[in-house]
Amino acid sequence: MRLACDSCGARYRLADEKVRGRLVEIRCRACAAVLTFRDGVPVPAAPPKPTRLWFALVAGAQLGPLSDDAFEREIAEGRILASTFVWHEGMAEWMRLSEAPR
């Protein structure tokens, strides 16, 4: 079976018996992209995880918008606590971090 990298066009050849009826992942030697095939047909990559924008009330002031990563960093560094009120789109109201869906 002949396969090609969508990112750089590099071509690969795998034995049919290694591909048939299986989900196969290989890393492109040319560009390091991960290629996923089922029965020799490319499987689309999973869509990127949507990023939420968080807001927090810290010392009486609104902090944000913060990306998920920045929000987690603020928690790890102790600026946002379990008792801090937070909000992101989709939440009906501000709530304490300890009660907020994450």
Asked if residue 59 and residue 36 are part of one domain, the reply reads no
Do 71 and 94 fall into the same domain?
Answer: yes
- HSE-CB at 39 with a 13 A cutoff on CA atoms is 1
Mean per-residue pLDDT, 53-82 = 95
Domain that includes residue 22, residue range: 2-42
Our CA dihedral for 24, 40, 29, 5, rounded to 10 degrees, sits at: -130
Q: Give the model's pLDDT for residue 92.
A: 95
Model confidence at 44: pLDDT above 90? no
Rounded Cα gap, residues 56 and 100, in angstroms: 11
Q: What is the pLDDT of residues 78-98, one digit of tens each?
A: 999 999 999 999 999 999 999
Mean pLDDT, the chain, rounded, equals 90
Query: Do the domain assignments include residue 49?
Result: no
Kindly state the average pLDDT of the residues 4-17: 87
- pTM, whole model, 2 decimals? 0.54
Q: Is residue 47 part of a domain?
A: no
Cα 6 to Cα 31, 42, 85, distances in angstroms: 10, 9, 44
The pair of structure tokens assigned to 58 is 């810290």
